[in-house]
């Protein structure tokens, strides 16, 4: 397993060393040129960004200089429908799960709502989109959260949207830190009944750790989508009976 805390500490140490050895005036001048180029739209932005890097400005500082002019891009996640469903329409297992979820939704009075969340600096969202689309076709109401949320932001959105399940997609080794923080953030907001599951590239030796910290299920590489959907329905029915 990757110790992301150790990785973070090591990177901070390297950045501190870079800052000690560089020329602060040269860095400030290069960043000022970059910010001016971004604001004016004149000159080659890539060229001046490279010059800032040569002055040993960090990626964060270069990004902040351009952010002054551009602000932050906020992508609106979109869940595509009618892809997975038509492909599996004749599959007996698929039809059984759709029927099972339909019966549960009828008992509940509405479709169960699941939020697919991407936390931290993990920008790998293709797998999350596949799951969101498939679960939507199966019959879940699906909310795709924005990229790069903090656990607190994800918890806020989950509470606001009144979801029953939060599925955290992890492909960048942040699960041991971010998943427990998400569970605690939900508890702090009085939403401890929201089920938290984790899917993605999660080493098997981390499963027990996540379960011990409030994660209800872990879906590792190669998980069958229909098996995952069945497991989520099991959790929903079990959680509902125990409330």
pLDDT tens string 169-199? 999 888 999 999 999 999 999 999 999 999 9
User: Is it the case that residue 240 has pLDDT exceeding 70?
Assistant: no
Lowest mean pLDDT among 3-7, 46-50, 140-144, 187-191: 3-7
User: Is it the case that residue 55 has pLDDT exceeding 80?
Assistant: yes
Following CA atoms 86, 92, 97, 103 in sequence, which dihedral angle do they give, to the nearest 10 degrees?
100
Nearest to 164 by CA among 76, 100, 93, 101: 101
Between 209 and 7, whose confidence is greater?
Answer: 209
For residue 63, the SS3 value is: helix
pLDDT one-digit tens code per residue, 87-122:
999 999 999 999 999 999 999 999 999 999 999 988
Per-residue pLDDT at 4 = 75
The residues near 17 (Cβ < 8 Å, ≥ 6 apart) are none
Per-residue pLDDT at 239 = 67
The architecture in CATH of the region 84-242 reads: 3-Layer(aba) Sandwich (3.40)
Give dist(CA 212, CA 202) in Å, integer.
Answer: 15
pLDDT one-digit tens code per residue, 58-84:
999 999 999 999 998 777 778 899 999
User: Mean pLDDT, to the nearest integer, of 228-240?
Assistant: 89
User: Mean pLDDT, to the nearest integer, of 145-162?
Assistant: 95
Rg (CA), the chain: 22
Per-residue pLDDT at 220 = 93
Check: pTM over 0.75? Answer yes or no: yes
Q: How confident is the model at residue 243 (pLDDT cuts 50, 70, 90)?
A: very low
Domain edges within the chain: 4-70, 84-242
């Amino acid at each position: 397993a990757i110790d992301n805390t150790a990785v973070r500490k090591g990177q901070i140490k390297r950045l501190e060393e870079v800052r000690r050895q560089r020329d602060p005036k040269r860095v400030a001048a290069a960043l000022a040129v970059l910010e001016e180029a971004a604001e004016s739209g004149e000159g080659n932005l890539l060229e001046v960004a490279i010059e800032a890097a040569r002055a040993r400005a960090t990626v964060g500082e270069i990004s902040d200089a351009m952010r002054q002019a551009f602000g932050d891009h906020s992508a609106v996640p979109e869940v595509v429908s009618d892809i997975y469903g038509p492909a599996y329409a004749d599959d007996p297992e698929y039809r059984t799960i759709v029927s099972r979820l339909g019966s549960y939704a009828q008992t509940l009075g509405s479709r169960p709502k699941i939020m697919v969340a991407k936390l931290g600096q993990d920008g790998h969202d293709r797998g999350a989109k596949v799951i969101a689309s498939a679960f939507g076709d199966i019959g879940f109401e699906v909310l795709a959260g924005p990229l790069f949320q903090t656990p607190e932001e994800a918890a806020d959105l989950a509470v606001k949207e009144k979801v029953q399940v939060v599925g955290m997609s992890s492909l960048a080794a942040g699960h041991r830190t971010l998943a427990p923080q998400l569970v605690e953030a939900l508890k702090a907001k009085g939403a401890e009944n929201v089920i938290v599951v984790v899917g993605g590239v999660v080493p098997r030796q981390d499963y027990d750790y996540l379960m011990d910290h409030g994660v209800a299920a872990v879906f590792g590489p190669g998980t069958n989508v229909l098996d995952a959907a069945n497991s989520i329905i099991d959790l929903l029915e079990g959680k509902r009976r125990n409330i």
